[in-house]
Amino acid sequence: MIAARPREGGHPGAVSAHFLHSVDGSRVLLCTEWTSAEAHQEAAEAGDHDEGHELFSGTPGVRLTHGGRFRLYRTLR
């Protein structure tokens, strides 16, 4: 994945990406952060995810879930 990342910093709306793996190493979750839902949609429509998607979908044992969007419901002070 590191070799496949964009050299120019990627889409301007991308903030970060985190790979989280289970303690036993059997599962990995990719969590990405965007400045807005619109920025993520623009990146998808521009094909900015295509190379990463090809890499994941071609890796043995990987099951794509096609994600979901987390929306902050409430915060505490």
Convert the pLDDT of each residue in 18-74 to its tens digit. 888 889 888 888 788 889 989 988 888 887 777 777 777 777 777 777 777 888 889
Q: How far apart are CA 34 and CA 26, in angstroms?
A: 27
Can you give the pLDDT at residue 6? Answer: 65
Contact predicate 1/55, CB 8 Å: yes
**Whole-model pTM?**
0.66
